[in-house]
Amino acid sequence: MNYGGNSLRNQDDGSRIMKSVLIGDGAVGKTSIRRNYLGEDFIEGHLATIGVDLATKRVLFDGDVVKFIIWDLAGQPTFEKVRGHYYQGCNGIVLVYSITNRESFDNASKWLVEAYKNMGKLPPTIIVANKIDLRGTVDNEVTTEEGEEFTEYFMEKLEVPAVYVETSAKTGENVVGAFTKLLRMMSDAEEGKESDKFIG
């Protein structure tokens, strides 16, 4: 399997290939978000990802068939060494935290540091505040304003295109929209690189 390269074509059918990495603390709903996007059922309770999980979805995007590859990385610290390899060659990042778990929000910047360490300049990123169906059920939940401020700070500090999205993996709210936004940003970034080649 080829892990490298950003602008890839599937040798089987000529479809575009885009790769993203799904990161964030354990139990924030990363795998549930991925399952929802793939049209799979929501599972109550936490299923820990063992190291890394791979998902592929073919989507029609800008009149093109895109093979969208999503690496779902385990959030536990013990898997840090395993995760490093899977950042390579990814065109986009989905960083997830839970609004009901302030520690997962506080750790968001650590995840971006890990991604930067493994990727160099970061690709387009979606910051996902998950579990909005539980809003108002816990003390000290992470507010919308905090998520937006973090995203703004991240964009300015690292000069990375980033968008803030609130989702519920349980109800499916905004899940498809989040991945569609990421595909748009990834496609725009790829086209920008192609334009640079011609200008250069």
> What are the pLDDT digits (tens) for 182-194?
999 999 998 876 5
pLDDT above 70: residue 154: yes
Sign of torsion, CA 143 124 88 16?
Answer: positive
pLDDT above 90: residue 41: no
Q: Is 19 part of a structural domain of the chain?
A: yes
Q: Is 2 part of a structural domain of the chain?
A: no
Given phi > 0 = left and psi -120 to 50 = alpha, else beta, which region is 140? left
Q: Is 199 part of a structural domain of the chain?
A: no
Q: Is 185 part of a structural domain of the chain?
A: yes
Please report where in the chains the tokens 């990042």 appear, as a residue: 93
CA distance linking residue 184 with residue 25, whole number of Å: 25
pLDDT digits (tens, 9 = 90+) for 106-122: 999 999 999 999 998 89
Neighbours of 110 (CB within 10 A): 11
pLDDT above 70: residue 8: no
CA distance linking residue 191 with residue 166, whole number of Å: 27
pLDDT digits (tens, 9 = 90+) for 64-91: 899 999 999 988 877 777 788 899 999 9
pLDDT above 70: residue 4: no
Q: Domain residues for 40? A: 8-192
Question: Using an 8 Å Cβ cutoff, are 87 and 122 in contact?
Answer: no
Q: Is 90 part of a structural domain of the chain?
A: yes
The reported pLDDT for the residue numbered 82 is 78
Q: Is 167 part of a structural domain of the chain?
A: yes
Q: Is 170 part of a structural domain of the chain?
A: yes
Provide the domain count of the chain. Answer: 1
Question: Using an 8 Å Cβ cutoff, are 108 and 24 in contact?
Answer: yes
The reported pLDDT for the residue numbered 12 is 52
Average pLDDT of the chain? 86
2-11, 31-40, 118-127, 140-149: which has the minimum mean pLDDT?
A: 2-11
Q: Is 1 part of a structural domain of the chain?
A: no
User: Which residues, in sequence order, are CB contacts of 42 under 8 Å at separation 6+?
Assistant: 32, 35, 36, 169, 170
Q: How much helix, strand and coil, in percent to the nearest 5, is found in the chain? A: 40, 25, 35
> 3-class SS at 47?
coil
Token pair recorded at residue 178: 């989040």
Taking every pair of Cα atoms in the chain, the longest distance, rounded to a whole number of angstroms, is: 54
CA distance linking residue 96 with residue 164, whole number of Å: 10
Instruction: Residue 20: give its domain's CATH number.
Output: 3.40.50.300
pLDDT digits (tens, 9 = 90+) for 42-63: 554 544 555 688 899 999 888 8
Q: What is the mean pLDDT of residues 84-110?
A: 95
